[in-house]
Structure 1
């Protein structure tokens, strides 16, 4: 969904996460300088721990009218998918005209890729700051989000059970950085990974039941910055996509298959769309689950995702 009447941004809050996969003070300063050269006001906030990005966005957007500085109308997030996820928790409930811009600074950066592909961040951000008018190269889109019913949190990029979730735990033990870190973790975790007994329900209809290697709900087409798990997903069609890879696919083949969506041709793969999707583990044990690159240890045996059509204002290419 596009908003062709959106005004150009004038005030930016730049969020940096020193704990993210590719953070550097130099990157934060480059982003700050670019914003400051084009906007009336730019401020930087470096997060201090889990939840701080959400709190910072809420504080900034909650400033009263007439305050100096005023509430930002552009939230620039430097970080990985997890940092963007936190910022979204503060941005979406707020009133006003603030919109999101993403600068890749994490491990997978799939959320940036789903908007801008492999375009350098400096080009995409410069376009957001200077080329948003009629006929410009950038437009404001309103993307669908999911809400995870068990936590009430918003899901920006997507959520996945099984091997992709457990690969995050492996990634935390590896000395690599960026996409190579997650790719290695994905392959290592998939080697000998046992499918879990699962069930996936879409709008009340069971689409899969049995051994499950993963069930991915979204959202973004890519996970880990390079794995094309949801190749048919549209970001603003008012529906959630789900891809289930069943136990008929050896888990150690899944990383290679998902690089170019070859898993879609396997008979053990199920692909569906709907407004409400429930992913379950049927033996009563805890469902291994992540969303937006963050492991969810507090989830029980089931997770339900509800679509929120057009909930997130974000700057994106006009041609998208």
Structure 2
């Protein structure tokens, strides 16, 4: 029977994460699984706890949203430690890409009975250093929208991202990007460049419909400059992935990506935005074992 260590950040997602854990924890223990819970003080502390638990051969459960999932998953990438998720955040996009059930019973069944599955991760390098992400690297108006959403206290989920998008678009000036995909340089002027490992970002928006977590490739989605009213239409089309058929959207695929711009454009990874371009991303095939 599996032995789990659940890691919760009580200051980020707090009561929501604890409540989600309690619902699943009862089912795990009733089935005979071992479960210990650790409360982290920060993302760095959560990563430290994950490495320590993995070193003891335990399956690590990230309890929360994409930030803690990405932070813990990134630090476990390449270690062989198995990761499970208990989604309890604003977006839960990585859990969505994994196809995890949303009900406690279905999720407990996955954690107890499913075999670990290898998925790709993304090595990210910039002036801020090296990190490993799970879902995507996005540079432009969506990173600015994500930053606004993270600072919204009133709204949650898709509503916070939509409001953040409205705020970001009203002040955005098109940036001139230079995007290098597997050594081939492309110029682009517009709103954003997304290097996607996962199909989803921004709380369920289908930014890269054909992206797969286990194909060894990143889908590079570039949205070029267009009138603002058309961009709002594009935002709505992200719900279904219909935006990919518009001429303003270009999609490339590759293993190594470098994104640069003519000004300090913000970029984010896995729901966290705290840096500016340039940034390089490289896929790490099958580097993380997850329960899905």
* TM-score normalised by the chain length of structure 1: 0.83
Structure 1 position 83 matched with structure 2 position 68: yes
- Deviation string 1:107-164 (CA, Å, 9 cap, x unpaired) is 11101111126x32413422224433xxxxxx42211111002232111011111111
Give the equivalent residue in structure 2 for 1:20.
Answer: 12
The structure-2 alpha-carbon separation of the partners of 1:89 and 1:51, relative to structure 1 and needing over 3 Å to count, comes to same
Count of residue pairs the alignment pairs up: 286
Structure 1 position 140 matched with structure 2 position 119: no
Equivalent residue for 1:125, pick from 107, 111, 126: 107
> In structure 1, what is the Cα distance between the partners aligned to 2:172 and 2:105?
40
The structure-2 alpha-carbon separation of the partners of 1:313 and 1:272, relative to structure 1 and needing over 3 Å to count, comes to same
Gaps in structure 2 of 5+ consecutive residues: none
Equivalent residue for 1:275, pick from 243, 246, 255: 255
Counterparts of 1:1-320 in structure 2, within 5 Å, are 10-21=2-13, 23-24=15-16, 25-63=18-56, 71-72=57-58, 74-95=59-80, 98-116=81-99, 119-132=101-114, 139-150=115-126, 151-171=129-149, 172-207=151-186, 209-248=187-226, 250=228, 251-281=231-261, 283=262, 285-297=263-275, 299=276, 301-316=277-292
- Residue 22 of structure 1 and its aligned partner are, at CA, apart by 7.0
- Residue 296 of structure 1 and its aligned partner are, at CA, apart by 2.6
- Residue 27 of structure 1 and its aligned partner are, at CA, apart by 2.2
> In structure 1, what is the Cα distance between the partners aligned to 2:95 and 2:65?
9
- Residue 52 of structure 1 and its aligned partner are, at CA, apart by 1.5
> In structure 1, what is the Cα distance between the partners aligned to 2:112 and 2:224?
47
> In structure 2, what is the Cα distance between the partners aligned to 1:54 and 1:295?
18
> In structure 1, what is the Cα distance between the partners aligned to 2:197 and 2:176?
24
**Residues 13-22 or 306-315, more deviating:** 13-22
Query: Superposition RMSD on alpha carbons, in Å?
Result: 2.0
Contact 1:113 1:225 in 2 (8 A): no
Bigger helix fraction: 2
Partner secondary structure for residue 30 of structure 1: helix
